[in-house]
């Protein structure tokens, strides 16, 4: 192997304890890099003045940005969601960026890194600059999609500022073909490569298992971009042909009460189970009783959509066939009719047709799982992802070296 790298990973938030479920895919990625001999440390925000400095052998640098009781911009939910909860959270963005930059300058003056790998680089790429300027570190930026909606909304000098910073990255990783296209449309000049995410919870592939019941599953945050109202409307149509069908919605979020009320108004509440947030064995059991998983994501008015749809990879890993909207990064996972079924975004009638098709055709369900698992082995396995990531990080650190 080439000389091991010293890597600093910049991210919005990082697990505070073993039961925390923040970015499990990132934890897995970092542990796999450590297994290959690289030194990996994390630069992230504080949460209520937390003292924790390690997680699963990974050293963490946390920066303070407010008095302890106010340090809640991150960790409990995604920052865009948090900012919708009031002006006080929007105001926290300024000290968050300022104090993060100051902490980065101090750390960069004390410690050198070969690579700074920035996740959600709008706006976090500013935290990487001191390490490049003071320690000549290379910058890799991983774009996951949600931050591009922000980049497109930023007009004039601020938007151009972040496009310029991104263009000074040594490499940009896009999590899907769709994210890569949006980066290019934003006129970002750095080399861009697709680097998807893998299943954060399971490395085992479970074979397809025949089920007599029609159990439809959704797993995800209950936020606008996930399009759950489309699924509820489609389920009304499905019940007309399959009155014994059931829908399980796994997840929590700001739209929970609204969705429960919608199910009641549609007259389907007795057929819909809102299971709340699940992890570990309960989540595994939800996948195992599902006949199919549906991801009905939409494009919001703010320009947000599904960057990839890792839950689709999880479902296929459990031997569950998948249906998703033809939007964002979902088509990278679902090759229509081969690895899953696609439907037109927002079209609940089209979704109902696809759900009914899978309920009525067990042979199609089996075929989609078999081909889908082949697809994720070839394109979304952690071995393939880490191989590509490691090779590219080594490449940018040796570029132009003597």
Based on the fold, state whether residues 171 and 312 are members of the same structural domain. no
Based on the fold, state whether residues 178 and 253 are members of the same structural domain. no
Residue 361 lies in a domain: yes
What confidence score (pLDDT) does residue 137 get? 97
User: In 126-228, at which residue ranges do the beta strands (DSSP E only) sit?
Assistant: 138-143, 171-174, 192-194, 215-219
Based on the fold, state whether residues 389 and 368 are members of the same structural domain. no
What confidence score (pLDDT) does residue 402 get? 36
Based on the fold, state whether residues 15 and 85 are members of the same structural domain. yes
Based on the fold, state whether residues 288 and 140 are members of the same structural domain. no
Place of tokens 């924790």: 52
Distance, in Å, from the CA atom of 379 to the CA atom of 332, rounded to the nearest integer, reads: 9
Residue 210 lies in a domain: no
Based on the fold, state whether residues 111 and 255 are members of the same structural domain. no
Strand-pair partners of 340: 336
End-to-end alpha-carbon separation of the chain, Å?
19
Based on the fold, state whether residues 121 and 222 are members of the same structural domain. no
Distance, in Å, from the CA atom of 138 to the CA atom of 143, rounded to the nearest integer, reads: 16
Based on the fold, state whether residues 135 and 278 are members of the same structural domain. no
Residue 206 lies in a domain: no
Residue 254 lies in a domain: yes
Q: Is the distance from CB of 94 to CB of 126 less than 8 angstroms?
A: no
Based on the fold, state whether residues 231 and 360 are members of the same structural domain. yes
Residue 147 to residues 119, 123, 232, 360, 377, Cα–Cα distance (Å): 10, 8, 28, 39, 28
CATH number of the domain at 358, please.
Answer: 3.40.50.2000
Based on the fold, state whether residues 16 and 56 are members of the same structural domain. yes
pLDDT tens by residue, the chain, 402 residues:
578 999 999 999 999 998 888 889 999 999 999 999 999 999 999 999 998 999 999 999 999 999 999 999 999 988 888 888 899 999 999 999 999 999 999 999 999 999 999 999 999 999 999 999 999 999 999 999 888 888 887 777 888 899 999 999 999 999 999 999 999 998 999 999 999 998 877 678 999 999 989 999 999 999 999 999 999 999 999 999 999 999 999 999 999 999 999 999 999 999 999 999 998 899 999 999 999 999 999 999 888 899 999 999 999 999 999 999 999 999 999 999 999 999 999 999 999 999 999 999 999 999 999 999 999 999 999 999 999 999 999 999 987 543
Distance, in Å, from the CA atom of 133 to the CA atom of 119, rounded to the nearest integer, reads: 19
**Domain hosting residue 374, numbered range:** 215-379
What confidence score (pLDDT) does residue 109 get? 97
Domain count, the chain: 2
Based on the fold, state whether residues 228 and 356 are members of the same structural domain. yes
For the chain, give percent helix, strand, coil, nearest 5: 45, 15, 35
pTM of the predicted protein model: 0.91
What confidence score (pLDDT) does residue 150 get? 80
What confidence score (pLDDT) does residue 346 get? 96
Residue 204 lies in a domain: no
Residue 208 lies in a domain: no
Based on the fold, state whether residues 177 and 250 are members of the same structural domain. no
Residue 203 lies in a domain: no
Residue 259 lies in a domain: yes
């Amino acid at each position: 192997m080439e000389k091991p790298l010293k890597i600093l990973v910049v991210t919005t938030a990082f697990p505070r304890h073993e039961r925390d479920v923040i970015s499990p895919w990132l934890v897995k990625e970092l542990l796999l890099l450590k297994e290959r001999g690289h030194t990996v440390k994390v630069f992230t925000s504080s949460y209520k003045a937390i003292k924790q400095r390690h997680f699963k052998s990974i050293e963490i640098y946390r920066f303070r940005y407010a008095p302890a009781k106010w340090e809640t911009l991150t960790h409990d939910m995604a920052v865009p969601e948090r900012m919708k909860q009031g002006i006080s959270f929007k105001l926290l963005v300024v000290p968050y960026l300022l104090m993060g930059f100051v902490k980065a300058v101090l750390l960069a003056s004390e410690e050198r890194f070969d690579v700074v790998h920035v996740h959600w680089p709008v706006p976090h790429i500013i935290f990487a600059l001191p390490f490049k300027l003071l320690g000549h570190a290379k910058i890799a930026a991983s774009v996951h999609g949600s931050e591009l909606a922000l980049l497109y909304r930023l007009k004039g000098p601020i938007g151009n500022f972040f496009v310029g910073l991104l263009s000074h990255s040594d490499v940009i990783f896009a999590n899907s073909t769709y994210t890569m296209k949006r980066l290019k449309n934003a006129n970002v000049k750095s080399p861009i490569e697709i680097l998807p995410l893998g299943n954060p919870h399971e490395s085992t592939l479970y074979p397809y298992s025949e089920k007599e019941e029609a159990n439809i599953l959704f797993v995800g945050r209950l936020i606008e971009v996930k399009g759950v109202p489309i699924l509820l409307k489609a389920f009304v149509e499905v019940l007309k042909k399959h009155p014994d069908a059931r829908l399980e919605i796994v997840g929590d979020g700001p739209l929970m009460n609204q969705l429960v009320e919608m199910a009641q108004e549609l007259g389907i509440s007795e057929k819909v189970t809102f299971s709340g947030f699940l992890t570990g064995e309960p989540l595994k059991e939800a996948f195992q009783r599902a006949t199919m998983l549906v991801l009905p994501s939409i494009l919001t008015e703010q320009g947000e959509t599904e960057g990839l749809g890792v839950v689709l990879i999880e479902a296929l890993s459990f031997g569950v066939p998948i249906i998703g909207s033809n939007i964002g990064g979902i088509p990278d996972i679902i090759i229509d009719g081969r690895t899953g079924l696609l439907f037109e975004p927002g079209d609940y009638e089209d979704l109902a047709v696809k759900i009914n098709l899978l309920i009525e055709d067990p042979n199609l369900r089996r075929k989609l799982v078999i081909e889908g698992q082949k697809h994720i082995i070839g394109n979304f396995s952690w071995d393939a992802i880490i191989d590509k990531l490691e090779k590219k990080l080594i490449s940018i650190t040796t570029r132009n070296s003597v």
